Structure 1
Amino acid sequence: MFLKNLVAHNPAFAAAAIELHQSGELPPDTYVIDLDMLGTNAQTLCSEAHRLGLDVIAMTKQFGRNPLALETLRTNGVDSFVAVDMTCARAIDRAGQPVGHVGHLVQIPKYDASAAAAMRPENWTVFSDLKAAEAAGAAKEIGLDQRLLARVYDGDGMVIESHAGGFDADEIEAVADRFDALEGAHFGGITSYPALGFDREARTVVPTPNLRTLERTAERLRRGGRSGIAVNGPGETSTRTLATLADAGVTQVEPGHGFTATGAYHAFEELPERPAMLYLSEVSHLDGDSAFCFGGGLYLCIGSVDYQPQALVGRDFDSAVAQSVDATLSQNHQVIDFYGRLAQTPRRTLRPGDSVLFCFRAQAFYTRSLVAPVAGIQSGTPRVEGLYTVDGRPA
């Protein structure tokens, strides 16, 4: 699916990754970023978002908080960046980029509140009055009036159990008043997650009940006399879905995979964005009817759609495209992904040292991989701009 898009829509990227690996400039277990295509995708998405009056706060975790990726996105229209956790926030701040949103999806630990406030985030989401008080106290210490967003839910909402939490939407007026009573902070808006979801049956992106909750809650606040409310609507964002969010009253979007064309929707629909991120490995050894490639970043996720992972294997682009082979990637979390298993071809042409390309819905921050931003691919002069850890530091 994603590999098909890669070959069809960005073959220069695949060819450059293999060339740079075979020359020794890129190691295996590396997420490779096409900075040229990343910038083009950002221009496309951000121009449409701004036309619709939406602020673009880019997610950073999926490409390992890479500072050159952040710079490319910012240069091409992104307003600021969302920190899924404090590691993200520190990487964004260290790169000299604006921190647009903290606290969502992961709340700020109490003893990190001062560090978060010092980054002067535009938005700080809280799930409870206690977390609101911690944010306000930290902001007050440095003379800030922090804008707080309340994550809201109602009985019909879509809740992801692994990161549930927030306020009952029916109590939003009281929540807003309590936030406004805090020294150092004020009520600034609402958020929920996910606002859009991937329908695995229809294989397309659809509004979730949470988007309707945001719409209804924002209208309640307006009827109560509140204006200028931020409505943050993250989840499954691409150029194609922006109008749906804007029509529902969303004011802030948080694309991540939309910039790299690795959202679940990119696997099934023809969308404006083109592939800008892949996972590079190398055949390590052969065993029976299998070839084994180095792991470390083999993360199988595509919006809960079952599919057969595949890889392109070869020492140049043409041979790799001719050898699209099935892959077995362990999703048993009791087993470390030291290797991925590749199906040997009938002519047994897979060899140790071959380049291996995967393309999937990456979450680089979750892995032990390296991240390599590459410039000049689209002009035919690819160059590796550095190797980085998944917390955005030079490796």
Structure 2
Amino acid sequence: MFLELLRRRNPRFLRAAAELHHTGALPANTYALDLDTVAANAAAIRREADRLGLAAFAMTKQVGRNPDFCRTIAAAGITEAVGVDLQCALADARGGLGIGHLGHLVQIPRHEAATAAALNPRFWTVFNDTKAREAAAASAALGRDQALLARIVAAGDRFYRGHEGGFAASDVVAVADRLDALDGAHFAGITTFPAQLFDAEAGKVVPTPNLGTLRAAVERLRAAGRDDIEVNAPGTTSAAMLAMLAEAGATQVEPGHGLTGTTPWHAVEDLVEEPAVLYVSEVSHRYGDHAYVFGGGLYVDPVLGLGATRALIVPQGGTIDDAYLVDVEMPAPEAIDYYAMADVREAPTVAPGDTVIFGFRPQAFVTRALTAGITGVRAGTPAVAGVYAADGSDPIGPADINPTVIAGRAS
């Protein structure tokens, strides 16, 4: 679905990716990021957030915490990240972002609380009193007083399976009092996930019951004399929906796929953010009517369902204008994605080494793919800013390998 969006709204990026793979600058099994477009998307989200008085924390897991991506969005005005887990927060910090929020979705393991506290997070979410005490103790040891967000839940709230947990929303006033009593921490506000989701039938993003739970909790807290309550309301975030969140009482939003123009809403309507990510691979070999395409990053986020996949195959020496549009059989979700199989019955000249470009909604951090930021796409002078592993670290390349050592091991 996002391949057609790329062809229509960002064809220069497709052309650049093909050219850079042909020259060897862009490896196979790489999520490429159009940094010019990422910057424009981030600036648009930041402008709308500022207009509405919202704090915006970037979610970077879906693009593998790519350091050039982090630096790009920071330059565009989104200077803090939300770490979906501690590893994410550490990678974001290495990429030059401040840590605006951690502990949500994934709580911090008890023996790693000191590491988390050393990141000086602006907000830290806890699901229970035990995790609150751990966060407070780690912060107190550093002479800090940590602002805590309480993850709350009420009957009827919606969670992805495996994401459940939190304090009872009906007990939020007592929870706030207990967190305030901790040495090294204090109650700052509340959070949930998802506060809103894409409704395929309506063709737009709509609030979940969780957002109503947040609003009711704020009313309880205010009735108890508490003001200045932070309300963190993540989920399917783009500039187009920030006004709705602000009206609902949110104070914090967390754009992720909005930064690359790949929320479900972007798939059905042209929003201000443009598509800025694609997956590049190449043909390994042919067998029968199929070309086998190198995998490693063939994880398609199933939020839009596991529908049919298509790709562009660009012949060596050709351009994107010469590309074949082919159907692709993706590996089964339970299989290791060594290869995808492209139907090339209508593309008889496809050969090993040809470039293959996909456009789907990524979650790079759960793959073994590479990520690479591309500069100069809009100016027609594309270049690879850097290539990184899916955890944001530098991958091992030829310069890291000592031929003498390898030869010694072989003998």
Settle same-fold status: TM greater than 0.5: yes
Structure 1's 347 and 362: CA in aligned 2 closer, same or farther, altered over 3 A? Answer: closer
User: Which residue in the other structure is 2:369 paired with?
Assistant: 369
Q: Does 1:319 align with 2:327?
A: no
Question: 4+ runs of 1 displaced by more than 6 Å?
Answer: none
Q: Is the 8 A contact 1:291 1:344 kept in 2?
A: yes
Structure-1 separation of matches of 2:120 and 2:220: 29
What is the letter of the counterpart of residue 84 of structure 1?
V
8 Å contact kept, 2:64–2:363: yes
State the match for 2:123 in structure 1: 123
Q: What is the rounded CA distance, in whole Å, between the counterparts of 1:103 and 1:151 in structure 2?
A: 10
The Cα offsets for residues 300-320 of structure 1, whole Å up to 9 and x where unpaired, read as 224243421111111311012
Q: 2:171 maps to which residue?
A: 171
Q: What is the match of residue 160 of structure 1?
A: 160
Provide the identity percentage. 51
State the alpha-carbon separation in 2 of the partners of residues 345 and 374 from structure 1: 33
Match of 1:332 in 2: 333
The residue aligned with 1:182 is 182
Counterparts of 2:217 and 2:349, CA distance in 1 = 59
Aligned residues: 392
Find the aligned partners of 1:346 and 1:92 in 2 and give their Cα distance. 44
Structure 2 residue 36 is matched with structure 1 residue 33: no
Q: Residue by residue, what CA displacement relative to the aligned partner does 1:39-74 show, whole Å, maximum 9, x if unpaired? A: 001111110111011110000101111111111101
Q: Secondary structure at the match of 1:258?
A: helix
CA contact (8 A) 1:301 1:362 kept: yes
What is the alpha-carbon root mean square deviation over aligned residues? 1.1
Q: Residue 22 of structure 2 contacts residue 355 of structure 2 at CA under 8 Å; is this kept in 1?
A: yes
Indicate the residue corresponding to 2:249 in structure 1: 249
- One-letter amino acid of the structure 2 residue matched with residue 151 of structure 1: R
Residue in structure 1 matched with residue 270 of structure 2 by the alignment: 270
CA distance in structure 2 between the aligned counterparts of 1:331 and 1:208, rounded to whole angstroms: 31
Say if 1:141 and 1:289 are closer, same or farther in 2 by CA, change over 3 A: same
For residues 99 and 376 of structure 1, the distance between their equivalents in structure 2, rounded to whole angstroms, comes to 28
Aligned to 1:201: 201
Secondary structure of 1:341's match?
Answer: strand
For the pair 1:52 / 2:57, whether they are aligned, the reply is: no
Match of 1:21 in 2: 21
**Distance of aligned partners of 1:16 and 1:347 in 2 relative to their CA distance in 1, 3 Å threshold:** closer
Q: Give the secondary structure class of the aligned counterpart of 1:278.
A: strand
| Partner AA of 2:327 in structure 1 | D
Stretch deviating more after TM superposition (286-295 or 324-333): 324-333
> Which stretch shows the higher mean deviation, 117-126 or 310-319?
310-319
User: Which secondary structure does the structure 2 equivalent of 1:379 belong to?
Assistant: coil
Cα separation, 2, equivalents of 1:70 and 1:94: 9
Q: In structure 2, what is the Cα distance between the partners aligned to 1:27 and 1:306?
A: 26
Structure 2, unaligned runs of 5 or more: 396-411
Once the two structures are superposed, residues 159-181 of structure 1 have per-residue CA deviations (whole angstroms, 9 ceiling, x without a partner) of: 22212110111000000000000
Q: 2:407 is matched with which residue?
A: none
TM-score, with normalisation over the residues of structure 1?
0.97
Deviation of 1:232 after TM superposition, in Å, equals: 0.3
Equivalents in 1 of 2:351, 2:321: separation in Å? Answer: 16
Alpha-carbon distance in 2 for matches of 1:278, 1:381? 18
Q: Report the Cα offset of residue 330 of structure 1.
A: 1.7
Counterparts of 2:211 and 2:145, CA distance in 1: 28
1:331-370 → structure 2 map (5 Å cutoff): 331-333=332-334, 335-370=335-370
**TM-score normalized by the length of structure 2:** 0.93
Q: List runs of 5+ in structure 1 lacking aligned partners.
A: none
**CA distance in structure 2 between the aligned counterparts of 1:180 and 1:370, rounded to whole angstroms:** 43
With over 3 angstroms needed to count, the CA separation of the structure-2 counterparts of 1:304 and 1:276, relative to structure 1, is: closer
Shift of 1:129: 0.3
Tell me, in whole angstroms, the C-alpha distance in 1 between the residues paired with 2:219 and 2:66.
38
Shift of 1:347: 4.5
State whether residues 302 and 360 of structure 1, in contact with CA within 8 Å, keep that contact through their aligned partners in structure 2: no
Deviations 1:195-235, CA, capped at 9 Å, x for gaps: 11122333321111111111111122122211111100111
Aligned to 2:68: 68
Which stretch shows the higher mean deviation, 303-312 or 230-239? Answer: 303-312
